[in-house]
Structure 1
């Protein structure tokens, strides 16, 4: 048995060990001295930064594989890495409510440039409750009718192109010596995004039905840009619990409009989508908001383009 004095000593040690270990999986990567170190907050920004940056950039993604960005907050090691980096790229538009405090917590001699990569996108405003910012900077409860910015910009290839250009510009500014490489690689990425955009446009113009039912309200930019309408089981945050009457209303809408599939996403529980589907007598399909990769998708070498192609195929199937 431990004496009283020892017990009092061991508990703080355990607490320190827990704090140092951070919570859950670690972010990818460490600072590399002779490269432009770019810290990104979640998967699509990381993918584009790596693609545009090529050999000149060391990209560190804060969000671990298999973790949904709405549920995540940074660890102490993330603050250390970001303090030493040249660029910190975040989505903005309210996705990462922890960013203001995180930036205040950086080391005082840090020269990192923080860049909001969704700047310049025509934001969609919504009166849905938005829990992305975990209470954000103000502690008050959002009233149901106050407007929020929908942060899911990257889910439309049109917006993703603006984000990729912002990432390229920030790299050129941080490292003008390698401007030509950044411009050239951005050019190739931009071509692929434009081709993806054209494919979404032509394929979705042909489908007879235009309404989708999704588990989490992440597809407003996609719907706006390609002429669809989304009905969401939950609001902007995938954690928000819907009310029973909302589910009943949605089930009626599904039956009434002949909707054949309810969409769910892999990084969030599919329980509600399955409940609604069985209530309405329809099937479920994946529609991926491309917020992060699952471990399986990482093993399969999936990326923004392969996941968006799958989204398009599933939309075509559901809207026939």
Structure 2
């Protein structure tokens, strides 16, 4: 009886010691393999994202920061415009998690390209979804495709905000556990843009008495957004008919005896092609940045603000 009692005490002591050891953490609680794998996957989730160009890349980076890997396809508008995709490029992009493209005519080839992507993994996102694009007054040709929509919708800052919302929502759908993180980054990016939006609106209001002469349709979003009075001619990059030449002369006749006229251009080539008109009427000139692959959107806004303010300072 005494032996049984001693053995019982020894057993209780060993059991208690083993239990305390586990409580102190040297024997952690066992995690089921499935739960452990799920926790690891959630912790290590990293999306592979690609955009068509660097301007769009910078927009995506404003949302994800360094949380995911982001890359872009093209370093210039010319390469973006003239791209001819291959089977290899289709297969390569199909392996990504998200593919962001402008969807407004900036990539004339993109509709066919997206159709051919394997949708098993990739999520193609048209960031112009929900934006009311405006049409070119003069349609453009890309190979056998007629381009009707003006692609530069981001010159309307409200449309830029819609595009950023589309980007943010797509990333949240892929990585829902970090929704708040992306929401915060989105809010900050929009606030940064709104600083320039306010200043640009104020500058534009001080230029309402001016008439702006432009060559072509590229600045339409900009001019309509700020409500500028406009005279539009067609010269640079167009095959002019005699009717075009006559119309241009009639339009520029309106410039006589008008001192409040400014010639806006989006490229040095555009300005050079119109030097005769600029010199004939002694027009003030200013460049509006409509696209640049190597700067952020806020830098573009700042550049355009400087241009408008220069006209105000020269009054």
CA positional deviation for 1:260: 4.2
Name the CA shift for 1:203/1:281 in 2 (closer, same or farther; >3 Å): closer
The higher relative CO (CA closer than 8 Å, separation ≥ 6) is in 1
Kept in 2, the 8 Å contact 1:261–1:277? The answer is no
CA positional deviation for 1:153: 0.9
Name the CA shift for 1:109/1:41 in 2 (closer, same or farther; >3 Å): closer
Instruction: Indicate the structure with greater helix content.
Output: 2
- 5+ residue gaps, structure 1, are 1-32, 143-147
Show the counterpart of 2:53.
Answer: 42
CA positional deviation for 1:38: 2.3
Kept in 2, the 8 Å contact 1:263–1:286? The answer is yes
The alignment's C-alpha RMSD in Å is 3.1
CA–CA separation in structure 1 for the residues paired with 2:229 and 2:195 = 23
Residues 161-188 of structure 1: CA deviation (Å, up to 9, x unaligned): 1111111111111222332221111110
**2:279 is the counterpart of 1:304:** no
- 5+ residue gaps, structure 2, are 1-43
Name the CA shift for 1:109/1:123 in 2 (closer, same or farther; >3 Å): closer
TM-score by length of 1: 0.71
Q: 1:254-265 maps to which residues of 2 (within 5 A)? A: 254-255=255-256, 257-265=258-266
Name the CA shift for 1:287/1:150 in 2 (closer, same or farther; >3 Å): same
Residues 54-83 of structure 1: CA deviation (Å, up to 9, x unaligned): 112322222314x34774324446434422
* Number of residue pairs aligned between Structure 1 and Structure 2: 266
Show the counterpart of 2:96.
Answer: 85
CA positional deviation for 1:310: 1.6
CA positional deviation for 1:206: 2.1
Kept in 2, the 8 Å contact 1:234–1:241? The answer is no
Between Structure 1 and Structure 2, whose CA radius of gyration is higher? 2
Kept in 2, the 8 Å contact 1:40–1:62? The answer is yes
Kept in 1, the 8 Å contact 2:74–2:80? The answer is no
